[in-house]
Amino acid sequence: MLHLQPKKLPGVIESVALLLGIIALISFFIIELQSVPHIPILLGIIVMLAYGFLKKMSFSQLQHGMIQGAQSGMAAVLLFFLIGILIASWMASGTIPVLMNSSFLIAGGPWFYAITFSITAVVGIALGSSFTTAATVGVAMMGVAQSTDISLAITAGAVVSGAFFGDKMSPLSDTTNLASTVVKVDLFEHIKNMAWTTIPAFVISFVLFAVLSPSQSSSGSELSAFQEGLIESNLMHWSSWIPLAILVLLTVSKQPAFISLTITSLSATVIAGVRGVLSWGDLWGTWFNGYTAETNHEAVNELLTRGGMNSMLFTVSLVLLALALGGLFFATGVIPAILDRIQASLKSARSITLSTALTAIGVNIAIGEQYLSILLTGEAYQPIYEKAHLAKKNLSRTLEDAGTVINPLVPWSVCGVFLSGVLGVPVLDYLPFAFFCLLSPILTILFGLTGKTLTHTASTSAKSLNNAN
């Protein structure tokens, strides 16, 4: 969006004050008034329009900024709709249910916290939603902990860690797609690059949870009830694995995410139709309204009733509004003025990575919204990464490492409020045990300071080669 900046930039102090004012406005509505983020963001747009008029900008110029900002997220919007379709089709074909059932089969061992972390991670990848994972499987694991007198705080930390590992690494996740799309990086290339920090964080977290786990075996009726409900749904079948195998093959062959998700959704829908899970009319209807489970287990119904284009409208509308606000920040020169000041001091990969991570963390703490931490930080730092000849996948990785996974650690954030209510454990109680969420930003900053796993653009590599010769 940098091309949207006006010929004359406002002063840095004025720009910072305005930006902080908008952040304070959004923070007040989200934290104090418990408002959905759409409302304060829309009010922020109104404030920026008034600011533009004071700067004698025409409405057409401001409108162009909003349109250009929203337009930059259209690729993500299309993927979001496709993700909703994929989730619905995978539910109907039984692909997600068989993945869940497989994870339940390994529950009840002596490494309770480590197993809880692993199960929620697998289900999180399958669902692509940390909220749904925590509100269903997470609640079941909390019930197991409560029935066996195991620490609720550590169990909640394991649930949050696993759910956000899945949310971060799943191609179905809206935040994963958003981070890759905002900085224009292929989805699967983004996920592959995140493995450098995510896999070590996962391994270290697993070890820590294993060490903390009680020695006695744990069991509970909650998991058995979930398994019984999955069997009763009649969704699980050997053919349920086919869509997953197709997605893996398409991913390995490096097909574009849109193509991979489309083919997989179609294959899952055909499998469900051939098996007679639903009538063909109802089956295609799930593409918009999502799949609705009807079993005798209410918790299982909540777990399996998912997907559809309609389920993504909340995210889509938020993304469009946030990007429109970002477009106004650039069109009025607010962000370019700030960037001009900090670009002089951000020349090395170390300083750029550290600044990116701290900005994403700061937005999470100030606003309490992970989408905005990705959107605003991604838009602000793209030109800096380009100027430093750092590959954009470095930026998208840092956005997730210091943006997505930090939100559940903020007590007044959207994720923090939701998780503390669902799991019945205050954020500050589970925060010390959400190892994966704590390790991710530390590792991304560490790798940035050492230069390990950072990728430079071709121009930098060529320059280095010429210097060597």
pLDDT attached to residue 9 = 82
pLDDT for 466 equals 41
Task: Compute the distance between CA of residue 305 and CA of residue 176 in angstroms, rounded to an integer.
Answer: 22
Cα–Cα distances in angstroms (integers) from residue 108 to residues 86, 153, 383, in the given order: 31, 18, 50
Alpha-carbon gap, residue 433 to 282, rounded angstroms:
44
Q: Give, rounded to a whole angstrom, the gap between the first and last alpha carbons of the chain.
A: 38
Between residues 332 and 1, the one the model is more confident about: 332
Confidence band for 431, pLDDT divided at 50, 70 and 90: very high
pLDDT at 415 exceeding the cut of 60: yes
What integer is the mean pLDDT of 399-407? 91
Report how far residue 326's alpha carbon sits from residue 16's, in angstroms, rounded to the nearest whole number. 14
**Band of the pLDDT at 201, cuts 50, 70, 90?**
very high
pLDDT category at 321 given cuts 50, 70, 90 is confident
pLDDT at 363 over 90: no
Please report the pLDDT score of residue 375 as a whole number. 83
Percent of the chain with pLDDT over 90: 26
At residue 111, φ and ψ (nearest 5 deg) are: -90, 65
The pLDDT tens digits for 170-183 are: 888 888 888 888 88
At 56-112, the pLDDT tens digits run 889 998 999 898 888 877 777 787 788 888 888 988 998 888 877 776 666 556 788
Rounded to two decimals, the pTM is 0.71
| Residue 345 in this model has a pLDDT that exceeds 80 | no
Q: Is the pLDDT assigned to residue 367 strictly greater than 70? A: no
